[in-house]
Amino acid sequence: MLNALMTRLETGDTLDHYRLDATVARGGMSTLYKATDLKDGRQVAIKVPYEEMEADPVLVERFKREQQIGQELDHPGVVKTYDGEERSRMYMVIEWVNGRLLRSILNEADKLPIDRAVKLTLGICDALDYMHKHGVVHRDLKPENIMVDEKDNIKLIDFGIARKEDARRLTYAGPSPLLGTPDYISPEQVKGQRGDQRSDIYALGIMLYEMLTGQTPFAGPNPLAVMNERLLHDPKPVRKLRPEISAELQEILVRALEREPRHRYQTASEMAWELEHPELVGVDESIRRPAGGLRLPGRRKLLLYAALALAPIALFVLMLVLARR
């Protein structure tokens, strides 16, 4: 009964030494408040789980994992969770981030200028690269989980379904909000696989597509249909929706949205490198490659071309040596 009473928090209430100043958002598992730390006056965000979540051991473990991940990561592009102290109930204290959600920006602007979309993507790549190198996969990247400040610096938020490489597997319960968001979930997650850093890269590709075109690449009458679309069809080429997009940028999107993870960018830094060096991204629009076919990143493609060019020379030298024997 005590937990039930404590769950009904209102603006103006005090939770230990935090004053709840405003309700920011109500999600599927918790409520997020803007709050003031009465000890030092700093602004923070307080994430309080619902009563039914506190009764579910699996959800409690996810909540604790999110808190642990936020405490361990230290990067300007990743929201920080403050260390736990003695608390009267379960809740999380998170760095307060000034800015707007990328979703709010997209709702107002529809599609973004190409340079701005690339800049935001590079910021996300940098944060992802840091996370992935520390063994953390976000698994729920979407515009609702990206904060953008006035200088277009980004910060990743909400690690509710993130996982660590060394964490034990939680029970799989079929498609649900715990597995990602239908518009941004990767094909492998749709199939019930855990997903890894390449799943985050796929979601980033979806977001870049949306920033450039004002729409996500897959649609359907319901969430299951949307998820199924990415297993059966390729996205419509972005240059058909926005002709001023370069062929190189379109190629980068194709590589990020490969259906098979092994054909995708393997790291966020690899995607960032090509975004920063589009002139080295090989494009051959005269050839229609099969869906899911291997597309090599620029540096690898240059090495492949060099190897192919040298092959006849090597063969000639070998034949010459054999002829003289």
| CATH code of the domain in which 27 resides | 3.30.200.20
Is the same domain home to 153 and 221? Answer: yes
User: Which residues, in sequence order, are bridge partners of residue 18?
Assistant: 15, 37
- Out of 140, 183, 196, 200, the active site residue is 140
Going by C-beta distance under 8 Å and a sequence separation of 6 or more, which residues neighbour residue 249? Answer: 114, 118, 212, 238, 275, 278
Q: Is the dihedral of CA 169, 171, 172, 176 positive or negative?
A: negative
Residue-level pLDDT at 134: 95
Alpha carbons 44 and 72: distance in angstroms, whole number: 18
Per the structure, the count of domains in the chain is 3
In one-letter notation, the amino acid at residue 29 is M
For residues 223 and 316, membership in a common domain is answered with no
Asked if residue 185 and residue 126 are part of one domain, the reply reads: yes
- 252 with 318, same domain: the answer is no
Same domain, 138 and 25: no
Q: Are residues 212 and 248 located together in one domain of the fold?
A: yes
Q: Are residues 159 and 224 in the same domain?
A: yes
pLDDT per residue, tens digit, the chain (325 aa), is 334 444 578 889 999 999 999 999 887 788 999 999 999 999 999 999 988 888 888 888 888 888 889 999 999 999 999 987 788 889 999 999 999 999 999 999 889 999 999 999 999 999 999 999 999 999 999 999 999 999 999 999 988 888 887 655 543 334 444 456 889 999 999 998 888 999 999 999 999 999 999 999 998 889 899 998 999 989 999 999 999 999 999 999 999 999 999 999 999 999 999 999 999 998 866 444 444 443 444 555 444 444 434 433 443 333 333 344 4
Q: Which of 7, 53, 9, 10 is nearest to 29 (CA)?
A: 53
User: What residue numbers bound the domain in which 312 lies?
Assistant: 299-325
Residues 154 and 281 in one domain: yes
pLDDT of residue 61: 86
234 and 176 share one domain: yes
Q: Same domain for 131 and 257?
A: yes
- Domain end among 46, 68, 95: 95
**CATH number of the domain to which 104 belongs:** 1.10.510.10
- Provide the pLDDT for residue 204: 98
Kindly state whether residues 43 and 137 are assigned to the same domain: no
Domain termination site, one of 95, 124, 148: 95
Same domain, yes or no: 260 and 148: yes
Residues ≥6 apart with Cβ < 8 Å to 171: 58
- State how far the Cα of 112 lies from the Cα of 146, in Å rounded to an integer: 15
Whether 140 is catalytic is yes
